Structures are given as structure tokens and as C-alpha cells.
Amino acid sequence: MSRKTPFQLPHALEFGLLISGCDTKSLVTSVMCRFCACFKRAEQLGAKRQRIENTKYYSTPFRKENYEKHNSNQHPVEWEKYKKTNKEEKMEFFETMKSVSIERFICTSGDILEFIMDLKIVEDIIAQLFFHPDDDLDMLSLEKSMVLFKKVPDTTTSYCITIINVKRFELALDHTSIGLSFCQTSNVIDQHKEAFGNAKLVGLNDHIVS
């Protein structure tokens, strides 16, 4: 029978591990890779199989070469950054990186654009070009769309429109500029949202795109 190598507590900080299981004698039976929990695994060049998405757990025997191999192969960029940090920085590394990662997926006060548009552009071009006044359904859509345009205070010649989700707005522009319809654009961006789990892309439909 092979010798069961017990878990060495200093390895938790050295290799970015978190104890996830102990037996009745308080001996460690399982540890989790914090890189997996905080980041996705790296794409493997030339790999024929789909990238594994689950979190890596280690059990006995606990060997440092296994941690090194996994971190180098699955998290090469983050692992290189981690190795260069001191003890104090290692203790804060995952919380800091988690905060940076989360900020990419939520809307902040800086994630806003405002446009000031001439009244004639809004009322004569936008309002009339995209909607037919004789179509009741189009008139309902017109009323909903025009809610986005607000008269600039103290003036009767300008409208202001506020974009509260810049990333979604930029993607919509990119997709419509290459010929996708409003409906196709909303569907493609929804696929982006599902693929990357990005909450910034949620709630889009063809009406919002238009």
C-alpha cells in the first residue's frame, strides 16, 4: 500500500489552496484550488477536448508537484502573478482579483454615455425614419422609444439620451454595422451573455437594440 502523504498547511498559501474537507480526527481529506474557484481554466492550444470548467479538488496523497503541475497548466497567467507576490499579498490575492473580475460584469457609475442631439435629428429623422405613422403598432413602438429621449433643460432645440450600459451598446453597434437585424443582434448578444455569464449583457431585445 502506498504511503498517504498528509496535507502540509503551508502549501495552502504557497499554492493557492483552500481546505474543503476533514475527517473526524481533524485530518485534512480534501483541498480546493482557489485559482479554479476564482478564474476559468486556460484554453489549451491544440486541445481536441472541450475545456474543463469544474473546480479542481485534491485528496490524499497530497503532493506539491501535483499543485505545481495543475497551476502551471490550467492557470499559467494567474499562477505567475501569484508566485511573484509576498506572503501578505498572497493572503489578499484572491479577494483582490475577485473584486477586479466582478467589476467587469456589473454596471458602475462610469459605465454611462450621454448624447446631446439636435431636435430635428430626433423628431424628423429618428422618429419618422424608423416608424410609419399609419401603423398602430409602430406608433406604440414610437412612443416607447421616444421615452429614451429627454428634452435638455432650459432649451427647446436639443434632446439628451443616456446609455446606461456602454458595453451592451457598443456590441449592438458592432453587430448592426455588419448587417445584422435588430432581432439577430439581440439574439447574438444574448448568446454572448450565456457563454460568458456576463450580467452586463442581460435584458436585451430587438426593441432596445432599435
Residue 116 pLDDT > 50:
yes
Instruction: Work out the pLDDT band at 2, boundaries 50, 70, 90.
Output: very low
State residue 178's pLDDT score.
80
Residue 22 belongs to some domain of the structure: yes
Mean pLDDT for 150-158 is 77
Residue 192 belongs to some domain of the structure: no
Looking at the structure of the chain, the number of domains it has is: 1
Strand, helix or coil at 22?
strand
Q: What is the pTM of this model?
A: 0.46
Closest CA to 59 of 17, 28, 26: 28
Residue 50 belongs to some domain of the structure: yes
State residue 206's pLDDT score.
77
Residue 76 pLDDT > 90:
yes
Residue 42 belongs to some domain of the structure: yes
| Rounded percentage of the chain residues whose pLDDT exceeds 70 | 72
Residue 133 pLDDT > 70:
no
Q: Strands of 57-58's sheet, edge to edge?
A: 17-22, 28-33, 57-58
Instruction: Work out the pLDDT band at 55, boundaries 50, 70, 90.
Output: confident
Instruction: Work out the pLDDT band at 67, boundaries 50, 70, 90.
Output: very high
CB atoms within 10 A of CB 66: 14
Q: Which helix (H) or strand (E) holds 158?
A: strand 158-163
DSSP characters for 29-40? EEEEEHHHHHSP
Of the listed ranges 57-71, 89-103, 146-160, the one predicted with least confidence:
89-103
Phi first, then psi: what are they for 22, rounded to 5°?
Answer: -140, 155
Please name the residue that has the C-alpha cell 475545456.
51
Residue 58 belongs to some domain of the structure: yes
Computed from CA positions of residues 191, 194, 195, 199, in that sequence, does the dihedral angle turn out positive or negative? positive
Quick one: cell of 89?
499579498
Residue 48 belongs to some domain of the structure: yes
Length of the chain, in residues? 210
Highest mean pLDDT among 71-85, 90-104, 176-190: 71-85
The burial of 14, by beta-carbon neighbours within 10 Å (0-12 exposed, 13-18 middle, 19 or more buried), is given as middle
Residue 88 belongs to some domain of the structure: yes
State residue 47's pLDDT score.
47
State pLDDT tens for residues 157-171. Answer: 888 877 777 778 878
Residue 52 lies in domain: 10-103
Residue 187 belongs to some domain of the structure: no
Mean pLDDT for 8-14 is 94
